[in-house]
Amino acid sequence: MKTPWYEKIASVDKKILYVIMFVVVMIPLLAKWTYNPDVMDEVQDIYDEVEEIYAYNLANPDAPMGILFSFDYGPSTSAELDPMMMSVLRHAFLRKIPVVTWVAFVDSIDLGKRITNFIAKEYGAVYGEDFVFMGYPYPMTAAVVAFGSDVRKFLVKDFYGNVSTDLPLLNKIYNYKSIGLIVTVSGTSMPRFWVTYANTLYGKKIATGTTAVSAADFYPFLQTKQMIGMMGGLRGAAEYEKLVYELETELIGTDTEMYMQSVYKQNTVQKWDTKVFTPGYTEEELREHISTRMTARTGMASQAAAHFFVIFLIILANLGYFFKRRAENKR
């Protein structure tokens, strides 16, 4: 007697399902499909705040506002959080907003340095003038409080050993009066720390990026306006990535590769600190810089494909169960 289809479904080897799932996940990644989600209010609010800082700086070129970026995560959550940090950093550099970055954990130093320099290089940013990397300030609480008066007295040198008072940017951006926004990207409870000190004590605006599993913990802070916005999980990263991609296309066009190459073809005196990054690109570097502009949106396409496959399996299993029960009742 021929085995009914619904019984065949129930006996499918799990290994086959795992293989199919692997193929479903990999196809969007290899094909570089992108998923452009609608932008939620909490993500749009961060983008709008950065745009407000840009507008303020245009009106006040001698006293600009900067953004403090805190890498409050480690390598274990970088796959989900790197696209968030890269997108907001790109937004800041596109708008020529002064950038200060540091890290909250020892094992994040290389991560913070790499991403800061990676994005700064795309726009030909000059170290000490357009951005600085302060490394790992310890203890973190003292560093955050020191920013209330003059962070240069606490962090006498930057990560590279430069005296803080010798850096032009830190002579303009050295306390919270000149910080328009604090961006904390974290897979832990660190955003609470920033609310406790920077927001509660100094009234600074806090924006956060967090893993999907932690996002629910921070919605109360959005409701009380202690945070002005949040990127939650890969979707939040994809939303901000989409906004920045649209802005970059508007400002420099669709040929991003040509733009990045042109930055270092100018016949000017060398002004880039080679300790920070080497001017110019190899073909491999260009591909990496281009690909990171759609990391989150490609990841969302892959994630969506996996979700649709799971939904299909659930529907198929329930149909199989329904027909099996009906066949049993007819006997």
Mean pLDDT of the residues in the chain? 92
List, for residues 175-232, the tens digit of each pLDDT value: 999 999 999 999 889 999 999 999 999 999 999 999 999 999 999 999 999 999 999 9
List, for residues 217-266, the tens digit of each pLDDT value: 999 999 999 999 999 999 999 999 999 999 999 999 888 989 998 888 86
pTM, 2 dp: 0.91
Q: What kind of fold does domain 36-293 have according to CATH?
A: Rossmann fold (3.40.50)
Higher pLDDT, 1 or 79: 79
Residue 1 has pLDDT above 60, yes or no: no
Mean pLDDT, residues 1-12 taken together = 75
Higher pLDDT, 261 or 112: 112
Residue 3 has pLDDT above 80, yes or no: no
Residue 270 has pLDDT above 70, yes or no: no
pLDDT score, position 12? 83
pLDDT score, position 265? 80
Q: Write down the domain spans for the chain.
A: 5-29+300-330, 36-293
List, for residues 44-54, the tens digit of each pLDDT value: 999 999 999 99
3-class SS letters over the chain: CCCCHHHHHHCCCHHHHHHHHHHHHHHHHHHCCCCCCCCCHHHHHHHHHHHHHHHHHHHCCCCCCEEEEEEECCHHHHHHHHHHHHHHHHHHHHCCCCEEEEECCHHHHHHHHHHHHHHHHHCCCCECCCEEECCCCCCHHHHHHHCCCCHHHCCCECCCCCEHHHCCHHHCCCCHHHEEEEEEEECCCHHHHHHHHHHHHHCCCEEEEECCCCHHHHHHHHHCCCCCEEEEHHHHHHHHHHHHHHHHHHHHCCCHHHHHHHHCCCCCCCCCCCCCCCCCCCHHHHHHHHHHHHHHHHHHHHHHHHHHHHHHHHHHHHHHHHHHHHHHHHC
pLDDT score, position 327? 78
pLDDT score, position 269? 60
